[in-house]
């Protein structure tokens, strides 16, 4: 399979060079969306692009949101006719060494999306404990997503994913923020896409990392996620 590995980047100057060098060990074609970085990440990405480590570099003139960066990666993989797309974050919370596992799972099973789970039914030893508010919200939203879609997810938010060609063709997403994965699940179910989870390591490098825009307040974040789900349901019914 011709697979693209896609990475959203926003102000990851501490990690970006290490992450991309490590990713390049496990994949041949890398796409990066620089989502308006202003901390020096952009200059590092331009250097890596000139060195041909990056296959596709998309630059946003300003910060448009995590979801928008992922949407751009899905649209790029679709229009460039890749057979699959693997996405992971650039904050060293996803291990690039697991990229081949995602690709192998996508090739081996009759699934359209392989999604990482940090909360598998059989726990992995040595996992970092999650912030309590994130765990509580993840469980509540994942339960709601499962009730609405019929999926049996254990982690509805993990950004470490692999998309097959049918998913790339079917998913036309709009939500620019952190709630984009919730829109994804509603629309994936509507399109009849098959999903499988595989365990990934739960790593928290920066437990104080901000969501921005008031979303650091748990109740505000939960309300936002519910609005995303409601909007995706409304669109799916049309």
pLDDT at residue number 51: 96
Which region among 27-41, 158-172, 203-217 has the lowest average model confidence (pLDDT)? 203-217
Of the candidates 206, 170, 153, 180, which has an alpha carbon nearest to the alpha carbon of residue 85?
Answer: 170
Task: Report the C-alpha gap between 137 and 131 in whole angstroms.
Answer: 10
In the chain, what is the straight-line distance between the N-terminal and C-terminal CA atoms, in Å? Answer: 34
Give the list of residues 6+ apart from residue 163 with CB closer than 8 angstroms, or none: 74, 77, 84, 85, 86, 87, 112, 113, 171
For the chain, the structural domain boundaries read 3-237
What CA–CA distance (Å, rounded) separates 190 from 234? 12
Give the side-chain half-sphere CA count within 13 A for 162: 29
Q: What is the pTM of this model?
A: 0.94
Q: What pLDDT is recorded for position 82?
A: 98
d(CA 165, CA 111): 10
Cβ–Cβ under 8 Å, residues 113 and 162: yes
- Please say whether the beta carbons of 68 and 40 come within 8 A: no
- Taking alpha carbons only, the member of 171, 177, 13 closest to residue 90 is 13
195, containing H or E segment: strand 195-199
In this prediction, what percent of the chain has a pLDDT beyond 90?
84
126 has a pLDDT exceeding 80 = no
Identify the CATH number of the domain defined by range 3-237: 3.90.550.10
Contact 140, 221 (CB under 8 A): no
Separation of alpha carbons 32 and 237, rounded Å: 33
Pair 157, 141: CB distance under 8 Å: yes
In tens, the pLDDT along 42-95 reads 999 999 999 999 999 999 999 999 999 999 999 999 999 999 999 999 999 999
Partners of 163 in beta bridges? 85, 113
pLDDT at 229: 98
Residues 6+ apart with CB under 8 A from 212: none
């Amino acid at each position: 399979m011709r697979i693209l590995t896609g990475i959203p980047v926003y102000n990851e100057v501490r990690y970006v060079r290490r992450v991309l060098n490590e990713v390049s060990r496990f994949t041949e074609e890398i796409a990066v969306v620089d989502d308006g970085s202003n901390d020096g990440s952009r200059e590092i990405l331009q250097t890596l692009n000139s060195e041909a480590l990056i296959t596709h570099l998309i630059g946003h003139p300003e910060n448009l949101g995590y979801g928008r960066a992922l949407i751009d990666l899905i649209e790029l993989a679709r229009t460039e006719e890749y057979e699959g797309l693997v996405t992971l974050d650039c904050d060293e919370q996803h291990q690039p060494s697991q990229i081949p596992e995602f690709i192998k799972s996508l090739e081996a099973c009759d699934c359209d999306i392989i999604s990482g789970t940090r909360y598998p039914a059989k726990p992995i030893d040595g996992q970092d404990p999650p912030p309590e508010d994130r765990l509580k919200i993840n469980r509540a939203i994942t339960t709601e997503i499962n009730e609405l879609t019929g999926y049996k997810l254990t982690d509805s938010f993990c950004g470490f994913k692999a998309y097959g060609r049918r998913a790339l063709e079917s998913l036309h997403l709009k939500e620019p923020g952190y709630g984009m994965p919730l829109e994804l699940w509603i629309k994936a179910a509507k399109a009849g896409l098959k999903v499988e989870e595989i365990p990934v390591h739960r790593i928290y490098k920066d437990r104080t990392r901000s969501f921005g825009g008031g979303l650091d307040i748990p109740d505000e974040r939960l309300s936002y996620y519910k609005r995303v789900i409601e909007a995706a349901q409304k669109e799916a019914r049309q």
